[in-house]
Amino acid sequence: AQSVTQLDSQVPVFEEAPVELRCNYSSSVSVYLFWYVQYPNQGLQLLLKYLSGSTLVESINGFEAEFNKSQTSFHLRKPSVHISDTAEYFCAVSDSYNQGGKLIFGQGTELSVKP
């Protein structure tokens, strides 16, 4: 069975500092990997995804994540965070058969950016 572990439940960081949110997954099959962001009282928004090809994927707002198959990780990074990045971040996995239709989520990491 697939599972996702987000190693930090809360990450406090100062504005303009770098941040890394860690995600490890467990799966015996080929996977697709996703990061979603959730703002209070909102649904989930896709931040970035790895389906195939280059192992480094980037979002339009400066986040990036690297798929590391040997370490079964998909950590999310941003070199300089803003107050507006304060939100909860979820790592998710789906197997290549389901193609994203059935997502298994980690428990979430609450990112708190302080001025």
- State which residue, 15 or 51, has the beta carbon closest to other proteins: 51
- State which residue, 25 or 34, has the beta carbon closest to other proteins: 34
Smallest separation, CB 61 to other proteins (Å): 17
- State which residue, 57 or 81, has the beta carbon closest to other proteins: 57
Smallest separation, CB 112 to other proteins (Å): 17
CA 94, 6, 41, 86 torsion-angle sign: negative
Smallest separation, CB 81 to other proteins (Å): 23
CA 59, 65, 69, 73 torsion-angle sign: negative
Residue of 72, 8, 76 lying closest to 36 (CA atoms): 76
Smallest separation, CB 3 to other proteins (Å): 12
Distance from chain centroid for Cα 70: 18
Q: Which positions lie near other proteins, rule CB under 8 A?
A: 34, 36, 41-46, 49, 51, 90, 92, 98-108
> Which run of H or of E encompasses 47?
strand 44-50
